[in-house]
Amino acid sequence: MTAATEDTVYQGRVKLVQPLKGFRAGSDSLLLAAALPEKSGGATLELGCGCGGALLPAAFRMPGMRFTGVEIDAEMAALAEAGVAANGFDGRVTVEAGEASDWVKAHENQFDLVFANPPYFEPGRISPPGEGKAAAYLESLDVSGWVKAMVFAARPRAPIVLVHRAAELARILAALDRQTGDITVLPVAPKPGEEARRVLVRGRKGLKRGPVRLLAPIHLHEANGERSVTGQAVTTGGGVVW
């Protein structure tokens, strides 16, 4: 069993059971959870949920929805299950071990919202990640395959939401083309005036192609290093309106 720690987010209101070594949930996970459209009911899927860094905060934010997390790493999936129990989400949040493109084959058109924080790097493009981090950072499925799996599991017209590196925006938009419509991109910069390092991207399954909306960037910190209003919302359980 992976050595783990129990940590909290949202000012102690959500518990995360995370590996002592390896990938630990960070700002991307909370940003993704904050960017999801708030719904009062239905079924939600996260592909590649890790230890639950976005899944559990999202479940906290939307108590009327059912959540399923799918994770290829069985040990990380077990940590996510421990987080489900620690937060009392049993019966409303489930976690399954599986590879995204294979798992969705039996779940076509089943989810009212699908979200993901896909691995960021193609194998061979970066130095080997530190201990326990390879599965989180290196693509086992390319962006096109990842988006295809998300769209396959979504109901018609349902939104899919991703957070990713801004440098990969072209790949993301190419993957979304012809599969989704109403595509919106929200750049996320560390501070005002700095380049965006992340993008939030949202599309809706099966809608007609149309112009991509590129919104003004948001920033998570002010120039003096203090959290911005948006940054405060992301870390305390609020939402990002876009």
Give the residue carrying structure tokens 């960070």.
26
Q: Report pLDDT digits (tens) over 85-142.
A: 999 999 999 999 999 999 999 999 999 999 999 987 554 444 444 544 444 444 468 9
Report all structural domains of the chain as residue ranges with CATH numbers, in order of start: 4-234 (3.40.50.150)
Q: Computed over its alpha carbons, how large is the radius of gyration of the chain?
A: 17
Which pLDDT score, from 0 to 100, does residue 121 have?
Answer: 53
49 is written with which tokens? 């949920």
Which pLDDT score, from 0 to 100, does residue 38 have?
Answer: 92
CA distance 61 to 84: 14
Which pLDDT score, from 0 to 100, does residue 128 have?
Answer: 47
Which pLDDT score, from 0 to 100, does residue 54 have?
Answer: 98
Which pLDDT score, from 0 to 100, does residue 1 have?
Answer: 60
Which pLDDT score, from 0 to 100, does residue 136 have?
Answer: 45
Q: What percent of the chain has pLDDT over 70?
A: 91
- C-beta neighbour count of 118 within 10 angstroms: 23
What parts of the chain have a pLDDT lower than 50? 123-129, 131-139
